[in-house]
Amino acid sequence: MLNEFVYCPRLGFLEWVEGEFADNQYTEDGRYQHRRVDRKSGFLEAPPEPEDAEAPERPQVARSVMMSAPVEGLIARMDLVEATGAEATPVDYKRGKVPNVPANAYDPERVQLCAQGLILRENGFVCRGGWLYFAASRRRVWVEFEPELVEMTRQAARDFRRMADDGVRPPPLHHSPKCGGCSLSGICLPDEIELLRGDPQAPESPEEEVRRLMPARNEALPLYLQRHGLSLGLSGETLQVREKGEQVAEIRLLDLSQINLMGNIQITTQAVRELCSRGIPVSYFSFGGWFSGMTQGPGHKNILLRQTQFRAAFDPDRCCTIARELVAAKILNCRTMLRRNLEEPAPDLLVELKELAGQARRTKNLESLLGVEGYAGRLYFGAFPGMFKKQGLSFDFQGRNRRPPLDPVNAMLSFAYSLLTRDLTITLQSVGFDPFQGYYHQPRYGRPALALDLMEPFRPLIADSTVLWCLNNGVIGPDDFVTAANACNLSPSGRKSFIQAYERRMDELITHPTFGYRLSYRQLLEVQSRLFGRYLAGEVPEVPTIRTR
């Protein structure tokens, strides 16, 4: 990790202290270039004792050598070590070309190689220097372990240990070209953090300056299975869907972001184990679409984030601050939905919703905030039928009801909120949060309170918008619902159509109102979740919320 720390202290902290890692084309190529040296072979014998100096020297070559130096406080897995007698030379493989700099190598690579030399020295070898092999140039570069480089390496190790002990994440680099090739740039969010912190060097025009350093879309997509009798099993690098023993579909694991099983769908242990190892969650729903639970791997290692999350949850003032901003953003987004979709929005309604958003920010406790949110919700859903197109299908909607929903519109709203809750639960767990510890929604057994908190501003933007699109475009009709014992739910065919509409909405690109770049709603959930973690850690001063114009 010394390489990463010297390259960027924040990168070293994210990887070593917080356990973050993500692949990009460079890390994948580097793994390919290391495929040979990562396979352990050969054995590095201990250096001969001084009294054995006259013993014949036999060349040794060992790959993937793990060695530590307790005095130096270093440990490394060396790509290759070439030794003859008491003299050893580390060889470190690099995927790129020899850089056009005076030393023919950058400091991070030189420090990493020197650390390997110090480890060899502490283990009794004579080590004067090492080789950097650049695969793209097919050329070795010699690095002499001069006193200046040795001191630089030891100082970097001391600084890295001190930073890890302090537990304070270093600030991001300022608009550095290094960020473009960094695989963690979408986790680090350097330009976004600078802008939200109001740093003097931050760009005044986010539309021009804030770089989108992550993909606009995640090409991996969710898989939904809902037909009774289906089974899911593993076959090599694919999942096979079978019905009555016959294969009906095959999906590459590479293309999957999550699995969603609705009703009695079987999945094999081998498939579950492989999905857990790849970090692909499996979500379980009832036949009616209620979210029941989830299976996933061991989860994120970032205990520091969860400590910060729980510490803030025990502060009533902090809880209220977070809840106020989330509810105010939700009310303003509901207002925007009405302004955009009502043919003639009542001026008093829009004014009142704007005033309620201001009241939400001024409330003194969660109980008062619940009252403001409830009143705003009644106004919003009271006007909700006005957003149905007159030429569209007519549904009777008299207001919000649930558990169970009594009419088709409420059935779709409840199902949409369930899907959104699942998506935010998965996102929060992948970021490192505990989704069951919230601030506005107080903890209750089995309730993903933090997911419910952070989804508040997204309810009108994603869930309500999907319902309106389905109604106004004739995607869902009266025949797509089943009613029993006064409860209304989507039929299997209706649920399939609604899921397709929901996923289309999640894949839709939106211009971020703060940063000015375009990304999908699914990516937006992750960006906002990571920024919320930065807020809890004190990196940004205000609760990050999404408010559409």
Q: What is the pLDDT of residue 356?
A: 94
Condensed to tens digits (0 to 9), the pLDDT of residues 527-543 reads: 999 999 999 999 999 99
**Rounded distance between C-alpha atoms, residue 442 and residue 251, angstroms:** 39
Answer whether 0.75 is exceeded by the pTM: yes
pLDDT band at 399 (very low <50, low <70, confident <90, very high): low
Contact, 295 vs 423, CB < 8 A?
no
The pLDDT of residue 124 is above 60: yes
The pLDDT of residue 545 is above 80: yes
42 or 230, higher pLDDT: 230
pLDDT band at 53 (very low <50, low <70, confident <90, very high): low
Which of 259-273, 274-288, 486-500, 519-533 reaches the highest mean pLDDT?
519-533
pLDDT band at 297 (very low <50, low <70, confident <90, very high): confident
pLDDT band at 147 (very low <50, low <70, confident <90, very high): very high
Contact, 191 vs 203, CB < 8 A?
yes
Q: What is the pLDDT of residue 361?
A: 94
**Rounded distance between C-alpha atoms, residue 182 and residue 23, angstroms:** 9
pLDDT band at 366 (very low <50, low <70, confident <90, very high): very high
Task: Read off the pLDDT of each residue in 518-525 and give the average, rounded to a whole number.
Answer: 92
The pLDDT of residue 363 is above 80: yes
Task: Read off the pLDDT of each residue in 395-422 and give the average, rounded to a whole number.
Answer: 80
Q: What is the pLDDT of residue 37?
A: 65
**Rounded distance between C-alpha atoms, residue 528 and residue 189, angstroms:** 11
Q: What is the pLDDT of residue 200?
A: 61
Q: What is the pLDDT of residue 121?
A: 93
Reading phi first (left if > 0) and then psi (alpha if -120 to 50, else beta), residue 46 is in beta
The least confident of 106-120, 153-167, 193-207, 465-479 is 193-207
In terms of DSSP bridges, do strands 481-484 and 487-490 run parallel, antiparallel, or are they unpaired? antiparallel
The pLDDT of residue 384 is above 90: no
CATH number of 221-295: 3.100.10.20
Which of 79-88, 140-149, 260-269, 297-306 reaches the highest mean pLDDT?
140-149
Q: Is 148 exposed, middle or buried (0-12, 13-18, 19+ CB in 10 A)?
A: exposed
**Rounded distance between C-alpha atoms, residue 534 and residue 528, angstroms:** 10
Q: Cα–Cα distances in Å, from 350 out to 68, 379, 402, 488? A: 66, 10, 26, 31
Containing H/E element for 243? strand 238-243
- Supply 22's token pair: 């993500």
Q: What is the pLDDT of residue 392?
A: 45
Helix, strand, coil percentages in the chain from 3-state DSSP, rounded to 5: 45, 20, 35
Instruction: Say what percent of the chain tops pLDDT 70.
Output: 93
pLDDT band at 324 (very low <50, low <70, confident <90, very high): very high
The pLDDT of residue 160 is above 90: yes
Task: Read off the pLDDT of each residue in 92-115 and give the average, rounded to a whole number.
Answer: 90
Task: Read off the pLDDT of each residue in 211-240 and give the average, rounded to a whole number.
Answer: 86
Instruction: Say what percent of the chain tops pLDDT 90.
Output: 45
Class assignment of domain 303-507? mainly alpha
The pLDDT of residue 143 is above 90: yes
Q: Determine if the peptide bond prior to 171 is cis (ω within 30°).
A: no
Q: What is the pLDDT of residue 264?
A: 86
Q: What SS3 class is residue 80?
A: strand
Q: What is the pLDDT of residue 492?
A: 83
Task: Read off the pLDDT of each residue in 302-326 and give the average, rounded to a whole number.
Answer: 93
Class assignment of domain 2-166? alpha beta
Kindly list the domain boundaries of the chain, sorted by start residue.
2-166, 221-295, 303-507
Q: What is the pLDDT of residue 64?
A: 87
Task: Read off the pLDDT of each residue in 28-48 and give the average, rounded to a whole number.
Answer: 72
Task: Read off the pLDDT of each residue in 137-152 and give the average, rounded to a whole number.
Answer: 93
The pLDDT of residue 394 is above 70: no
Q: What is the pLDDT of residue 6?
A: 92
pLDDT band at 373 (very low <50, low <70, confident <90, very high): very high
The least confident of 5-9, 286-290, 385-389, 527-531 is 286-290
Task: Read off the pLDDT of each residue in 401-407 and give the average, rounded to a whole number.
Answer: 75
pLDDT band at 336 (very low <50, low <70, confident <90, very high): very high
Write the DSSP assignment of 453-510 as a string of letters: HHTTTHIIIIIIHHHHHHHHTTSS-GGGEEEETTEEEE-HHHHHHHHHHHHHHHHSEE
What does pLDDT average to over the chain? Answer: 87
Condensed to tens digits (0 to 9), the pLDDT of residues 54-98 reads: 555 678 888 888 999 999 999 999 988 998 888 899 999 888 899
Q: What is the pLDDT of residue 207?
A: 47
531 or 281, higher pLDDT: 531
